[in-house]
Homo-oligomer: A and B are copies of this chain.
Amino acid sequence: MTRAGGTRAALLDAALAVFDERTYGDTPVAVVAERAGVSVGTLYRYFPSKEALGNAVYRLWKQRLGERLAAERSAGASYASTFAAMFRTFVGFAAEHPAAFAFLELQQHESYLDVDSRTASTSIDETAVQFVTEGQKAGEIRSGDPHMLVALVYGALVGLIKARRGGLRLTDDDLAAAQAATWALLDIRSQAE
């Protein structure tokens, strides 16, 4: 499991894998070390504590997800098509990195996350809020508290991936339908009475 990036990367990889299999709270550090092919002592050379390791894993993947999402905000595109791209990115990320997605969104981290990690988490939110706010100004996204709308959309997305993880089979057509439905959460045209 030792990646090119060296011991630290191997530890982050191993931690993600086992945290996904068992949960952060239920995973002894010895298991992480063993999976990474190093000793516990070595793990503690790279991370001062289990919490630090958990935070590092969390931050690493939250940032990766955030960057991929942010990259979709191409200038000039319509909000609907930008949303479509973001949706696909999100679903694609979950498909490519199921362990990372499950760890990030399906587990609880409150008990150990530090400020930096929370910030990483918030910044995704901010990107999304900004997108919604601008879309509202442009008259393409329905009115309403942007934070609230983001919460609804993000929640729907997480619900979708969670269901998929729980065994729900989704074809490309299903995903297209899911994207359309989720966009309806924001679409100004769905607001009409």
Report A's interface with B, CB cutoff 8 A.
22-23, 25-26, 106-108, 110-111, 142-145, 147-149, 151-160, 162-163, 168, 170, 174, 177-178, 180-182, 184-187, 189-191
Contacts and interface: CB of A to CB of B under 8 A. Distances in A.
Contact of A26 (B111, B163, B170): B111
Contact of A159 (B154, B177, B189): B154
A152, A154, A174, A178 pick with most chain B CB within 10 angstroms? A152
A144 B143 CA distance: 26
Describe A's contact surface by its main secondary structure: helix
A154 B124 CA distance: 22
Contacts of A110: 23
Nearest to A168: B147
A178 B147 contact: no
A189 B191 CA distance: 10
A166 to B, nearest CB: 9
Given A111-B23, A190-B190, A163 B144 contact: no
B162 A148 contact: no
Contacts of A152: 156, 159-160, 178, 181-182
Contacts of A154: 159
A160 B149 CA distance: 8
Given A155-B156, A157-B155, A159-B158, A181 B149 contact: yes
B160 A151 contact: yes
Contacts of A159: 151-156, 158-159
A182 B153 CA distance: 9
